[in-house]
C-alpha cells in the first residue's frame, strides 16, 4: 500500500481530530486483496490504530510481524495497541523486542520507560496530578501548539476551560483549523508570541515540523512571521483567569513571558519546555528559568516528557510545571 508521506499525513490528521484521510486509506487497503508485504500490513495497522480500532490494528501488526519479525516500528505500535487493550505485560514485552532489534530506537525507549513507570512521566499524568491538587484553570494559552495535541490532552483534564493555540509555523495551520472547528472553546493564531506586537524572524526545518524557533536577529535561514503578545491575545479574546500558560518555544521563553507580564499574577500554572544545554544564544538553561520564575512568584512542582539526546544519552530537555509559591504544597517540607 505504501506512500509513507501520505500515511504520515493521514495519521497526523486523525490525531488532530479529522480521521477522513486515514479512513479512506484504510478502507481502500482493506477492500483490495490483503497484501503479504510487511510494510503494507504495518501501514494498515497504523491506520487502524489512528482510527481507534485497536483489535483490527493488532491483527494487521501481527500479520506484518509474521512477514518480517525484525520490523522494529511494528513492535512499537503493537506495544501501543496492547497497552490500549489493557495488556500491559504484553505491551512491555513488545516494546522490549523493538529495542532489542534497534537499540537506537529512541521513541521505543521513551515509550518503554513510560510503560514501566505507568506513564507518570507523561504530560497527561502531570496535568492530572495538578488538577487533583485543585489547581484551577479557566483559560489556556498554548504557545508552540503544533497540531493541538497538548491542548486536547489538557482539555481532558479541564474540559470547561477556554483554549487559545498559538503556532508560528504555517505547516500546522490546517491541523489547527480542524481542531478548532471540532472543539468549541478552541481558537488559534498563526503567529509567534513575544514581548511586543509586530513581526519577528522564524526558522523551522520543514522535515522536522515539531522544531522551530523565533529570533530577534535574522537567522541564516528563516522568514518573518506575525508576532503577538499573550497579554494582548487574552484581552482581544476576553480570556478569563486563572490562566494556564504553556510554552514549547525552544529557548525563546523569556520574551514571551515578558509579553505576558500582566497575566502572570493571574496565572495558576505555567508549563515550560526547558533545556539542559544552550539550544541557541538567547536560551536560558533550566535552572536559570527556575530562578527567573522564582522572581515572579512561581516554583516548580512537577515535570514530564524528559528527553535524552542520542549522541551521549545526556538529559536534553523536559517540561517543568510551575505553580505559585503560596500553594499549600510548599508549606510542608517533609517527605
Query: What is the C-alpha separation between 111 and 93, in angstroms, rounded?
Result: 12
Query: What is the C-alpha separation between 317 and 310, in angstroms, rounded?
Result: 12
Asked whether 25 and 1 are in contact (CB, 8 A), the reply is: yes
Domain(s) of CATH 1.25.40.10: residues in the chain = 4-116
The residue count of the chain comes to 335
Is 0.75 topped by the overall pTM?
no
Residue 25: per-residue pLDDT: 82
Asked whether 202 and 275 are in contact (CB, 8 A), the reply is: no
User: What is the CATH code of the structural domain delimited by 123-331?
Assistant: 3.40.50.150
Question: Ramachandran region of residue 212, left (φ > 0), alpha (ψ -120 to 50) or beta?
Answer: left
Nearest one of 178, 177, 116, 126 to 156, comparing CA atoms? 126
Residue 203: per-residue pLDDT: 61
Asked whether 104 and 310 are in contact (CB, 8 A), the reply is: yes
Q: Is 256 helix (H, G, I), strand (E, B) or coil?
A: helix
In the sheet with 186-190, reading across from the earlier edge strand, the strands are 186-190, 162-167, 139-143, 243-247, 267-275, 315-324, 298-308
Residue ranges, the chain, pLDDT below 70: 1-2, 15-17, 35, 107, 111, 113-114, 116-119, 202-223
Nearest one of 147, 225, 214 to 183, comparing CA atoms? 147
Helix (H) or strand (E) holding 269: strand 267-275
* Mean confidence (pLDDT) of the chain: 87
Domain(s) of CATH 3.40.50.150: residues in the chain = 123-331
Residue 168: per-residue pLDDT: 87
Residue 104: per-residue pLDDT: 76
79 DSSP assignment: H
248-272 per-position pLDDT tens digit:
988 889 999 999 999 999 999 999 9
Query: What is the C-alpha separation between 231 and 233, in angstroms, rounded?
Result: 6
Q: Domain 4-116 is classified in which CATH homologous superfamily?
A: Tetratricopeptide repeat domain (1.25.40.10)
Amino acid at each position: 500500500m505504501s506512500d509513507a508521506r501520505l500515511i504520515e499525513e493521514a495519521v497526523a490528521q486523525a490525531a488532530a481530530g479529522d480521521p477522513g484521510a486515514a479512513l479512506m486509506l484504510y478502507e481502500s487497503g482493506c477492500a483490495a486483496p490483503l497484501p503479504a508485504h510487511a510494510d503494507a500490513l504495518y501501514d494498515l495497522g497504523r491506520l487502524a490504530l489512528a482510527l481507534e480500532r485497536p483489535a483490527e490494528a493488532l491483527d494487521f501488526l501481527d500479520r506484518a510481524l509474521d512477514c518480517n519479525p525484525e520490523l522494529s516500528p511494528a513492535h512499537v505500535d503493537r506495544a501501543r495497541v496492547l497497552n490500549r487493550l489493557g495488556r500491559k505485560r504484553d505491551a512491555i514485552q513488545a516494546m522490549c523486542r523493538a529495542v532489542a532489534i534497534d537499540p537506537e530506537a529512541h521513541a521505543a525507549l521513551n515509550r518503554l520507560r513510560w510503560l514501566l513507570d505507568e506513564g507518570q512521566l507523561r504530560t497527561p499524568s502531570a496535568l492530572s496530578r495538578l488538577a487533583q491538587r485543585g489547581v484551577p484553570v479557566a483559560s489556556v494559552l498554548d504557545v508552540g501548539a503544533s497540531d493541538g495535541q497538548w491542548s486536547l490532552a489538557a482539555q481532558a483534564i479541564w474540559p470547561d476551560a477556554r483554549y487559545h493555540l498559538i503556532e508560528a509555523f504555517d505547516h500546522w495551520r490546517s491541523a489547527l483549523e480542524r481542531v478548532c472547528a471540532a472543539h468549541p472553546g478552541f481558537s488559534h493564531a498563526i503567529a509567534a508570541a513575544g514581548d511586543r506586537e509586530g513581526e519577528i524572524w522564524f526558522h523551522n526545518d520543514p522535515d522536522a515540523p515539531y522544531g522551530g524557533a523565533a529570533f530577534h536577529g535574522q537567522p541564516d535561514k528563516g522568514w518573518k512571521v506575525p508576532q503577538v503578545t499573550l497579554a494582548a491575545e487574552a484581552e482581544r479574546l476576553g480570556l478569563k483567569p486563572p490562566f494556564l500558560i504553556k510554552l514549547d518555544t525552544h529557548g525563546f521563553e523569556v520574551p514571551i513571558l515578558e509579553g505576558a507580564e500582566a497575566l502572570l499574577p493571574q496565572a495558576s500554572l505555567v508549563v515550560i519546555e526547558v533545556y539542559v544545554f544552550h539550544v541557541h544564544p538567547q536560551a536560558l538553561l533550566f535552572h536559570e528559568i527556575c530562578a527567573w520564575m522564582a522572581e515572579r512568584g512561581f516554583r516548580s512542582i512537577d515535570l514530564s516528557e524528559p528527553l535524552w539526546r542520542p549522541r551521549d544519552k545526556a538529559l536534553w530537555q523536559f517540561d517543568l510545571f510551575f505553580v505559585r509559591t503560596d500553594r499549600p504544597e510548599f508549606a510542608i517540607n517533609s517527605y
